[in-house]
Chain A
Amino acid sequence: MAIKDITLGQYYPAESPVHRLDPRTKIVGTVVYMVSLFCVNSFSAFALSILLLGTVIAVSKVPLRFIAKGLKPVLILIILTMLINLFLTPGELLLSLGPLKVTEEGIYRAAFMALRLVLLIFGSSMLTLTTKPIQLTDGMEALMKPFEKIGLPAHELAMMMTIALRFIPTLMDETDKIMKAQTARGADFESGNFKEKAKALVPLLVPLFVSAFRIAGDLAMAMEARCYRGGEGRTRMNPMRYSGRDGAAALILALYLAVIIFSRTLGLF
């Protein structure tokens, strides 16, 4: 089924140094990398960004083909962004097709935008592909901890995220099952115009909501039965620890960031 083939946000099990990095390192690293992509504005700097991500991907043992699948749902967005930039950027005129004008700046902007988006998606995919959802939320909780002083409910937010992530596959399975069951009763989810398609969703959505509420009720009951009372004083089964590997990763990242910032401010490349 198509639903199962969505890779965006999926974990790819493998043994690699990237998988073993502390989730906090990976989360901060990903954020820094994404911000850096918006500072980059030359091809040589992009080459450096690609080199860094490429190395991480190679070390992580996640097949490129698998990561690239995550592009599929946003491909249209990327193409659209490229076209808009290509035709609507003012500057040195190279070519004009009727009302559409292609400028030198437009070509640069379109290429940069596409590169940026692809790297953004690849970069964020790498975080989820190499980090188990549970580790991811643990990492987020730890990073949000300092903000508890100003009233941010770090543990509760992380718990909500954990539960949401945990139940995505369950609800996908449920969707898959209900879809199959209604298909077996002659439901048609594919053909028809927009209105008909929306109407065809009722036999899917009603049972899905009923299931979701049932699952939520069961979970709440199970948590209460185990005396869950929130974050105060809770300890972890697998406490997170920084290792030398995380130090090395942080160093590489700092170096990368320094080069990007210098190149931008001094116009080196």
Chain B
Amino acid sequence: MQLKVEKLTHIYSEGLPFESLAMTDVSFTMEQGEFAALIGHTGSGKSTLIQHINGLLKPTSGHVYLDGVDVNEKSPEARALRRRIGLVFQYPEYQLFEETVLKDVCFGPKNLGLSEEEAEEVSREALALVGITGEKLERSPFNLSGGEKRRVAIAGVLAMDPELLILDEPTAGLDPRGHAEILDAVRRIREKKNMSIIMVSHNMDDVASLADRVLVLEDGRLIMDGSPREIFARGEELRAIGLEIPSAKDFMEKLAKMPALKEKGLEIDDGAITIDEAQEEILKLFGSKA
């Protein structure tokens, strides 16, 4: 489905002495099948923005349209469209509540009106997609590791078969292994399902290797919107607002600046943003020397 955010402004606790302007005049459009990464430092409004997309927060001014329908309309049509959005909050493991993993994942599909058997079927599928299988399905979700809990929570949303999946910092606070498992799950979702994805992330390596579009928020404003290559080419601007660039890109920039390289008359393109691209570029360098 198409997502269109138009001049979105949000003020928390409007009219109270502690009101705060969290979102100013944000506009962008996203087509079906896109994978967008949403970046910005803490408090820049990322979570605020994504909660508008399924109508959990109401804009102070502006609109959010899904396939041309305003999500905040009271019509059944808008309600149905809101249900096509799968929102996974930050630290989603804190929303688990059922006796078993499988039952917990079934909660969403059952709320959509699926029968017990149908719900179980889609839930097993969703769990397999995030790499949870076998006896773990019958375990209590509270007895899993942090990374597993989180994947169960993601499966809970996946099982509702959304058209647009939104992940709010899905790897925050996980160890490297948990982190890698979540990324694998996101990759599998991307391959197997025709879902649009918005992923909030602080890890620029993940962004570079997964996303085909990057949105940059700063102080509630959308200040950059483009392909990962375009965005990460603006390293100085990103650093100025407290963001990093991918480690591969950082390495290539340092490499390109090395005087020794210049002395030898070697040219290197520092545009690579993933390890694979960097490797290719360096191999090319070796090749030209040979």
Contact = CB atoms under 8 A, between A and B. Distances in A.
Interface of A: 4, 12-14, 66, 174, 177-178, 180-188, 202-203, 206-207, 210-211
B170 to A, nearest CB: 14
Interface string B77-120: 00000010111010010111100000000011001100000000
A207 B97 contact: yes
Interface residues of B, number: 25
Contacts of A66: 16
Given A177-B94, A184-B56, A185-B111, 17 more contacts: A12-B17, A13-B17, A66-B16, A174-B94, A177-B89, A181-B87, A181-B92, A182-B107, A184-B89, A185-B160, A186-B107, A186-B111, A187-B111, A202-B97, A207-B95, A207-B97, A210-B94
Contact of B94 (A13, A178, A185): A178
Contact of A186 (B56, B96, B112): B112
Interface of B: 13, 16-18, 51, 54, 56, 83, 85-87, 89, 92, 94-97, 107-108, 111-112, 142, 156-157, 160
Nearest to B89: A181
A203 B97 contact: yes
A234 B290 CA distance: 75
A14 B56 CA distance: 31
Nearest to B107: A185
Contacts of A187: 107, 111
B160 A186 contact: yes
A180 B56 contact: yes
A212 B157 CA distance: 24
Contacts, number: 57
A211 B107 CA distance: 20
Nearest to B13: A4
A181 B97 CA distance: 12
A178 B112 CA distance: 19
Contacts of A177: 89, 94
Interface centre among B16, B94, B95, B96 (most CB of A within 10 A): B95
Given A13-B17, A185-B107, A185-B108, A207 B96 contact: yes
A-B complex: 5 closest residue pairs judged by Cβ atoms? A186-B111, A206-B97, A181-B95, A185-B108, A184-B87
B248 to A, nearest CB: 34
A188 B82 CA distance: 14
B97 A180 contact: no
23 contacts: A13-B17, A14-B17, A66-B16, A174-B94, A178-B95, A180-B51, A180-B56, A180-B89, A181-B87, A181-B89, A181-B92, A181-B95, A182-B95, A183-B56, A184-B85, A185-B111, A186-B83, A186-B107, A188-B111, A203-B97, A207-B94, A207-B95, A207-B96
